[in-house]
Amino acid sequence: MAAPRKSASLSGVERRAVELDTIASVLPLERRDELAELLTDQDVETLRHLVNEGMGANTLRALTSDLTYLEAWGLAATGRSLPWPAPEALLLKFVAHHLWDPEKRETDPDHGMPADVDENLRRQGFLKTIGPHAPNTVRRRLANWSTLTKWRGLDGAFASPALKSAIRLAVRAVPRTRRRKSAKAVTGDVLAKLLATCATDSLRDLRDRAILMVAFASGGRRRSEIAGLRREQLTTEPPIEMPDGPPLPSLAIHLGRTKTTSGEHDDVVYLSGRPVEALSAWMVAAKIDKGNVFRGIGRWGTVSRRALDPQSINAILKQRAEMAGLEPDEFSAHGLRSGYLTEAANRGIPLPEAMEQSRHRSVQQASTYYNHATRRSGRGARLLS
């Protein structure tokens, strides 16, 4: 078993911080110093290896986030860094600490995560909500734990019958209602209210208007795709001739690697009309002719050279929702993605055409938005109307 984290020297921490900096361009790290304290030398070397192997940035962020949580939990629960490979008993302890029955906890204080472990993780900011973890979160962290174990050339007990049984029984004991990533879809009417808060020509309004319009109109792009958008991905297309009005400006976005694509094929989505104008207005005002398109804006109106963090896209949407008099907790950046498909369904756009823009690979997943819109407004839901 590894030596306690407390024995790590300051020079070791500083060295890991420098090494984390070398992969920051691929793997943005907001908590670098904290990660340098929690992660071991071998953890950092594993991450550097994955970067060199060309693993996608989103996958790397998820692996780093989960690895950091696992190391923090391991220290809090056992007083030592994670052993590699992890024994079955430690994996079962992880499940017991994260999947538990709130009702049983009321009569048995020892059920679930111990109070001192909970307090330790909460003090460090790793736990924010009250109650057990979502089963999917536990499964994802175990899957990433398994992946990192394999990348170290080791075998783990992640496929053991005891572990599978523990997860299955824990989930069955506490039924949960599956919640959408965004409680409400950002449909056309909601988007109009958000855009109404971006009414001035200030840099912040120009940027946020472009973010909202481009994210929605390009098929409901994921927040990571919008945050990582670069000028080099944009190609001006010939204007679209309209029979009853002036031509519409047109733009192509070359997506490259996304959550569901490898980047080997040139996936392209198109924008036309107002979103193109909004994007152009922002880039002209911010003097962006190369590099990251959407960037931070300083206190004195200075445009940063660094791209926005994906979480900033979520924060911008929530802030605009609050400014529009909406409940910010009801919306998230994923609402732009679900909202695009919901709006397409409401307007009678065929599913295959909408999927060409959203780039959904699964008809089953995309069709759920269409089925929901059809059922909600169909005759079956209006028998007593």
| CA 47/CA 338 separation, integer angstroms | 32
**What predicted TM-score, i.e. pTM, was given to this entire model?**
0.56
Amino acid at site 18: V
| CA 317/CA 332 separation, integer angstroms | 7
- Could you give all domains of the chain from N- to C-terminal order, each with its CATH number? 5-173 (no CATH), 188-380 (1.10.443.10)
For 66, residues 6+ apart whose C-beta sits below 8 A from its C-beta are: 140, 141, 144, 145
| CA 318/CA 332 separation, integer angstroms | 7
Position 2 pLDDT exceeds 50: no
Q: Which two tokens stand for residue 383?
A: 């028998």
The DSSP-derived string for 289-316 is -SSBSSEEE-TTSPEEEEEPPHHHHHHH
| CA 244/CA 241 separation, integer angstroms | 9
Centre a 10 Å sphere on the Cβ of residue 339 and count the other Cβ atoms it contains: 24
Cis amide bond preceding 239, omega within 30? no
Pairing of strands 268-272, 234-242: unpaired
pLDDT band at 365 (very low <50, low <70, confident <90, very high): low
Percent of the chain at pLDDT > 70 equals 77
Residues 155-195 pLDDT 10s: 889 999 999 998 888 887 765 555 545 568 888 899 999 99
Angle (nearest 5°) at CA 12 between 11 and 15: 85
Distances (CA, A) of 146 to 86, 142, 150, 378: 9, 6, 6, 46
